[in-house]
Amino acid sequence: MNVTAAEMGTHPAMKHVPSTILVTGGAGFIGSNLVHWLLRHDPAVRVVTLDALTYAGDITHLADLPDPARHLFVHGDIRDRDLVARLLREQAVDTVVHLAAESHVDCSIERPDAFVQTNVVGTFTLLEECRRAWLDDGIVGGRSTRFHHVSTDEVFGSLGPSDPAFNEQTPFAPSSPYSASKAGSDHLVRAYWRTFGLGCTLSHCSNNYGPRQHREKFIPTVIRSCACQVPIPVYGRGINIRDWLFVDDHCAAIERIVRMAQDGDAFNVGGRCERSNIEVARLICARMDLLRPSHAPHDRLITFVKDRPGHDLRYAIDATAIERRLGWGPMWTFEEGLAYTIDHVLQAYGEGVSR
C-alpha cells in the first residue's frame, strides 16, 4: 500500500538541519545505501562513515558515490572511545545515524557475546562520547545536534496470524540474542535522552531488502540459488511472515526523522507489505522463470530445511505515526523493488540481465 499525499497530511517544520553526519556501519547494507542517499539528496551535507569492515561491511559499497569529496571513510570500531571522540571533534559532527550492529540472527545464536559487545557496549560508547562532545564540550557551538538510533521490529517479539501490527506502544519481548541486544541498546538511547537531555530519536524498521544486501540474507540467497541452480533453503514450512521494506524507502524515512522529529520520538517504519517466506521465494522464482526460461521452473529448487531455534512467526509494522506526523510513506511496491533487487544481485555476481 502506497500512502497518498492526502493521507500523509502536511509536513512538520524542520527541527534539525544536519551539517556533518557520522554514519556508523556505513559500509554495510542499509548504511551504504543511506550514505548514497544523503549525498544524492542534500548537496550541503558532509558524511563521515565509520565501519569496522566485519563480515557485513564492504568498502566497495561506497564506490561511485554521488559526490565523493563530501565523504570521508574511517576504518574503526564504534567501541573505540578515543577514535569516536576524535572523530566527533575533528569533523565537527552534529548528527549521528547509528546503524552499526551485529544483525544476523543465526550468528547471534552461535556467538551471542559479539552481539552484546557491538550492539550494547558499542551503542553506549557512542552515546557517552556524544554526550561529552555535544553537552559538556559544546563542540558545535549553538547548532542543534541529533543522535538517531536505527533499531529493528524484532525487539517486539512475535505476532500471531491475526494479531494487530506492532506500533510505538508495543512492549518489548525479544526472542533472540540479536533482538535482545538491540532492545538493550534502545533502552540506553532513551535513557540518555531522559537523563542527560541528549537529542535522540529512534526508529524500528521491518525487514529491508534491496541492493548491497549481504549475500547470506534470505532474498539474496534465493536469487543466487536460482542463478546457480542449487537448492533454495527455506526454514520450516516457509510460513514465517515478514513486513518487507525497500531500502531506499527506509533511507528516506531516516532522513525525515533526523530532520523533522522531536527529541525523544520513536517511529516504526514498515513497507505495509506482509509476505511469507515461501511466498517471497516463489515470487523470486517466477521472476527468474521470465529471465532464465531455459531453467524454469525455478521453484523446483525450493528445499525446506530445519527451522532455526526461537524462529518468530510473524512481524508486522503499523507505520501510521510516521505517515501522519512526518509525511513519509513507502514509494516502492514489493514487486517493483523485488525486480530491481533481482537484477542488481545478478549483475553484482556476474549474472547480468537486461532491464
Q: Could you tell me the pLDDT band of residue 177, with boundaries at 50, 70 and 90?
A: confident
CA distances from 314 to 143, 165, 193, 246 (A): 42, 9, 31, 18
d(CA 40, CA 65): 8
CA distances from 338 to 84, 219, 318 (A): 37, 9, 22
Q: Is the pLDDT of residue 353 over 60?
A: no
* Least confident interval from 2-6, 140-144, 181-185, 320-324: 2-6
Report pTM: 0.91
Closest CA to 283 of 209, 206, 204: 209
Q: Is the pLDDT of residue 58 over 50?
A: yes
Q: How many degrees, rounded to 5, is the angle at CA 6 between CA 5 and CA 8?
A: 65
**Cα 342 from chain centroid (whole Å):** 19
Write the single-letter amino acid at 249: D
Kind and range of the H or E run holding 328: none
Q: Is the pLDDT of residue 113 over 90?
A: no
Mean pLDDT of 318-347: 95
Closest CA to 3 of 265, 253, 262, 205: 253
Look at residue 309 in the predicted model and tell me its pLDDT.
Answer: 81
178 is catalytic: yes
pLDDT one-digit tens code per residue, 242-260: 999 999 999 999 999 999 9
According to DSSP, the β-strands at 274-276 and 200-205 are unpaired
Write the single-letter amino acid at 265: D
289 is catalytic: no
Look at residue 307 in the predicted model and tell me its pLDDT.
Answer: 87
- Domains of the chain, start order: 5-209+247-271+316-331 (3.40.50.720)
Return mean pLDDT, the chain: 91
Mean pLDDT of 53-80: 93
The grid cell for 332 is: 516502492
Q: Which residue has the cell 532464465?
A: 292
Count Cα neighbours of 306 within 13 Å in the Cβ-side half-sphere. Answer: 3
Look at residue 354 in the predicted model and tell me its pLDDT.
Answer: 39
**What is the end-to-end Cα distance of the chain in Å, rounded?**
24
Q: Could you tell me the pLDDT band of residue 200, with boundaries at 50, 70 and 90?
A: very high
According to DSSP, the β-strands at 232-235 and 302-305 are parallel
Mean pLDDT of 184-212: 96
The grid cell for 29 is: 547494507
Q: Is the pLDDT of residue 109 over 80?
A: no
Closest CA to 97 of 71, 123, 67, 64: 123
Look at residue 292 in the predicted model and tell me its pLDDT.
Answer: 94
Of 178, 192, 209, 315, catalytic: 178
Mean pLDDT of 109-134: 90
Of 51, 102, 153, 248, catalytic: 153
Look at residue 54 in the predicted model and tell me its pLDDT.
Answer: 87
Mean pLDDT of 187-200: 97
Q: Is the pLDDT of residue 311 over 50?
A: yes
According to DSSP, the β-strands at 274-276 and 241-246 are antiparallel
Look at residue 350 in the predicted model and tell me its pLDDT.
Answer: 64
Look at residue 103 in the predicted model and tell me its pLDDT.
Answer: 66
Q: Could you tell me the pLDDT band of residue 347, with boundaries at 50, 70 and 90?
A: confident
Q: Which of 125-139, 171-185, 297-311 has the highest mean pLDDT?
A: 125-139
Look at residue 156 in the predicted model and tell me its pLDDT.
Answer: 95
Q: Is the pLDDT of residue 12 over 70?
A: no
**111 CB contacts (<8 Å, ≥6 apart)?**
none
Question: Which residue has better confidence, 113 or 230?
Answer: 230
Q: Is the pLDDT of residue 4 over 70?
A: no
Phi and psi at residue 194, in whole multiples of 5°? -70, -40
In the chain, the percentage of residues whose pLDDT exceeds 90 is: 79
CA distances from 291 to 166, 341, 344 (A): 37, 13, 13
pLDDT one-digit tens code per residue, 83-108: 999 999 999 999 999 999 876 666 65
Mean pLDDT of 235-247: 94
Of 77, 102, 154, 248, catalytic: 154
153 is catalytic: yes
Q: Is the pLDDT of residue 225 over 60?
A: yes
The grid cell for 342 is: 533481482
